[in-house]
Structure 1
Amino acid sequence: MCRRFRRAGSPVNAVIAAVTVCALCSGLWLLRDGAGRNAPPQPSAAQAHTGVDDHSGGRAAAPALPPSPPDRVRIPAIGVNAPLTGLGLTRNGGLDVPPADRKNLAGWYEAGVTPGETGTAIIAGHVDNTEGPAVFYSLGALRKGSTIEVDRRDGGAAVFTVDAVEVYDAKDFPDAQVYGAATRPELRVITCGGGYSRTTGYRGNVVVYAHLTGRR
């Protein structure tokens, strides 16, 4: 599995390093088609942060929820409905990833805030494995204003609205922006992206930015 690590500088998630969540075996599934028909979708420039108003069409932030571990993530616009497993850190200080052979499994960073709490919660998952598309294969097709729901162990669900979807080359990954502290409940969803190299694998990451707008 290819992983590239960079130290994040946020007070809350200072121990997280940026992670590239890639397929095993150098993406053999993707390499089967030299024309690139199997490449996952990438976000357009229209879905990036505007620098003016990234609050998803005026959707106000909802009050923070008390801590509760998450059990499932659903993103209806791209057909995601996946269980969540806790993620820790690797020996190198990077965020670990879910087992690649469980392609519909995503993970959340257990040492950070839980989704819905004030701060920046982190969810990560594979874009593909050697068999084909995995849980976040279509993450790059997500659009501003889409909904992300996270089922919590307390029986409720945290509802987030997407503010932006960006793709970054590994060498330009904005650690502080992705992992930095937040004064409201926010969520980042991360997978591989940014094109594919036969020698090094995926070149970067797709990152979804969202904030809490409701509960149920």
Structure 2
Amino acid sequence: MIREVAHKRYLSLISPESHALYISAWNHAKSVLQLAKHSFINRKCQNLSNSNSSQDFWHLAKNISNNFTSSPRPPLFHLNGTTAISSVSKDELFSQTFVNNSTLDDSRLVPPSPPPSDYFIPSIKVLHNDVFHVHAALKPRKAYGPDGVPPIVLKNCASVLAPCQAKLFQFCLLISTFPSCRKFTYIQPVPKKHPIALTSCLSKFF
């Protein structure tokens, strides 16, 4: 309410003083809203502490994500009660959670035997027509990886990119090297058994 009044006053009488009052009211409203959101989340989480249903938890998490935060990931809570708000602190908390919940023990697994010395891979010919069809069949709404290249660009520019990509893929096979920048992956933590790995579409093509 105060923010709207300050905004109307600023529009009716534009001056440095009215602008300063509007900015102050806007910052105050933003602070109050954030405190209200965090208070609501903390209260709901307290209510869920006695619940044994995981469905109740993810239902609340989805509602919070859709209605109470602008970030794709809402504030997260450490075991000590502190809140992870920044992207870096959220990533560190997710990473530590995955590490703590990992029960994979590969200490007794025997590594695979190397191929025989006379083993070789047959020559592979990359045709730009094959690459074009892979580009054209791409779903434009699919998520993209760390390279930031949207799938819709690759799909719409398939006729131009296919010959270049075919040459690049053929060269990778020739020198037995794949660009390091194409090996990075975004890990998207989601409420599933395993997190989702977002890889470059060009790497998937190859």
Bin of the TM-score, shorter chain as denominator length: under 0.3
| Relative contact order higher in (CA < 8 Å, ≥ 6 apart) | 1
**What is the TM-score with the length of structure 1 in the denominator?**
0.23
Q: Which is higher, the Rg of structure 1 or of structure 2?
A: 2
More helix by share: 2
More strand by share: 1
